[in-house]
Amino acid sequence: MARYLALRLAILAGTLFAASVVIFLALEVIPGDAAAFMLGLNAQPDTVAALRAELGLDQPALWRYLGWIGGALQGDFGLSYTYKVPVAELIGDRLWVSLPLTLYALALSTAIALPVGILAAARRGGPADITVMGATQLGIAVPNFWFAMMLVALFAISLRWFSAGGFPGWADPLAALKALTLPAVALALPQASILARVMRSALIECLGEDYIRTARAKGLTRGQALRRHALRNALIPVLTILGMQFSFLIAGAIIIENVFFLPGLGRLVFQGITQRDLMVVKNVALLLVFAVTLVTFLVDLAYAAADPRLRTRR
């Protein structure tokens, strides 16, 4: 196990290193720079040059790359070009929107998906199952940003129950949760659809296994067998999907944050690119990559712990 762990860790580090190089190189070739953006239409060339020097943009690329990675390893992510505050602080602020939004969406999606999936599996082939399968099929097909717009049209514009966008901060937790509700619903719907289908098929598969047949032979009803034996085993694929959805949600919220104008990580990265605040962009990008890789790593570990055969593969 220790050797396997070391191997996986090395792969994790390697992926992160490769990602950092890819990100840095991509940002190197992006046309335009922060200095020109900040100074606008009346700027004179010498002023732009002076600002470039002040921001350190005139240093050689390798030097800036080493400076970035060296700093990041020590927890120093540099200073934002435009905001003039530490990037770590900006990211910290935005995480307080993105993370709660992700968890909110995840909680909603789970709360909807699991009961629905279980119901469909228990009534397999019945009208409830057919309804669930149809509805989830539709849920997967709906683009979340369009769904978000429709939610705004109904609940913010027509009914005025929620605001159409923005985030009031956590000073008033209820208001903050309210502001996150529509975005979380918009994010959760497609995820809930996928999850419900996974739950259903995992359960159905478990119900076909020998131990369930044995249980049924012992006289348990279908429902009892489902509750006592199948459910536990079906949770494994469900948890895997949940893990994947977490990383998907934290990055996939970029569009939803734009629809609702939430000051989260996604909007930060968008703004950063628009303003050529590449100091912000490269760090958020790396952070997102790190989050995705870490979740994949943990899922792999969980699998390996559950199934020792996997440790020798790959």
Partner 1 sequence: MTAIRPTALAAAAALGLAAATAAAARDDVTIGMQLEPPGLDPTAGAAGAIDSVTYANVFQGLTRFDQNGTVIPDLAERWNISSDGLTYTFHLVKGVTFSDGSTMDAEDVKFSLDRARAEDSVNAQKGLFAGIAEVKVLDPLTVQVILSEPNGGFLFNLAWGDAVIVAPETAATNATAPVGTGPYVVSDWVKGDRIVLTARDDYWGDPVSIRTATMRIIADPTAAFSAMMAGDLDVFPAFPAPENLAMFEGNPEFRVTVGTTEGETILAMNNGAAPLDDIRVREAVAHAIDRETVIDGAMYGYGTPIGTHFAPHNPAYVDLTELSAYDPEKSRALLAEAGLSDGFTTTLKLPPTSYARRSGEIIAAELAEVGITVEISNIEWAQWLDEVFKRRDYGMTIISHVEPMDIGIYARDDYYFDYHSPAMQELMAELTRTTNPDTRGEILGRAQRRIAEDYVNAYLFQLPLLTVSRAGLQGLWENAPTPAIDLTGLSWAE
Partner 2 sequence: MKALTLPLGALLAGVFVVAALVSLVWTPWDVTALAVRDKLQGPSLAHWFGTDQLGRDILSMVMAGARISISVAVVAVGVGMVFGVPLGLLAAARRGTWVDELVMRFNDLVFAFPALLVAILITAVFGPGALNAILAIGIFNIPVFARLTRGAALSLWQREFLMAARVAGKGPLRISAEHILPNIAALLIVQGTIQFSLGILAEAGLAYVGLGAQPPTPSWGRMLADAQTLIALAPHVALFPGLAIVLTVLGLNLMGDGLRDALDPRLKERRR
Q: Please say which residue, 96 or 270, places its beta carbon nearer to partner 2.
A: 270
Per residue, what are the HEC states of 25-92? HHHHHCCCCHHHHHHCCCCCHHHHHHHHHHHCCCCCHHHHHHHHHHHHHCCCCCECCCCCCEHHHHHH
Neighbours of 259 (CB within 10 A): 20
User: How far apart are CB 250 and partner 1 at their closest, in Å?
Assistant: 17
Of residues 242, 244, 241, 268, the one with CA closest to residue 254: 268
User: How far apart are CB 292 and partner 2 at their closest, in Å?
Assistant: 5
Q: Please say which residue, 109 or 275, places its beta carbon nearer to partner 1.
A: 275
Q: Is residue 160 within the footprint of partner 1 (CB under 8 A)?
A: yes
Q: Please say which residue, 124 or 216, places its beta carbon nearer to partner 2.
A: 124
Give Rg (Cα) of the chain.
Answer: 24
User: How far apart are CB 165 and partner 1 at their closest, in Å?
Assistant: 3
If binding means CB under 8 A, how many residues of this protein chain bind partner 2? 49
Given 90, 186, 204, 268, the residue binding partner 2 (CB under 8 A): 204
Q: How far does the chain reach from its first CA to its final CA, in angstroms?
A: 14
Residues 239-298 that bind partner 1 (CB under 8 A): 259-261, 263, 267-268, 273-276
Letter string b/e over residues 201-216, b meaning 16 or more CB atoms within 10 A of that residue's CB: ebbbebbeeeebeebe
59-64 CB contacts, 8 Å cutoff, 24+ apart: 61/24, 61/28
Amino acid at 222: R
Residues 54-113 that bind partner 1 (CB under 8 A): 54, 82-85, 90, 93-94, 97
Q: Please say which residue, 61 or 157, places its beta carbon nearer to partner 2.
A: 157
Residues 265-304 that bind partner 2 (CB under 8 A): 269-270, 273, 285, 288-289, 292-293, 296
- Nearby residues of 57 by Cβ (< 8 Å), 6 or more positions away: 33, 34, 35
Q: Is residue 159 within the footprint of partner 2 (CB under 8 A)?
A: no
Q: Is residue 181 within the footprint of partner 1 (CB under 8 A)?
A: no
Q: Please say which residue, 163 or 176, places its beta carbon nearer to partner 2.
A: 163
> What does the binding site for partner 1 look like in residue numbers (CB under 8 A)?
31-33, 36-47, 50-51, 53-54, 82-85, 90, 93-94, 97, 152, 156-157, 160, 163-169, 259-261, 263, 267-268, 273-276
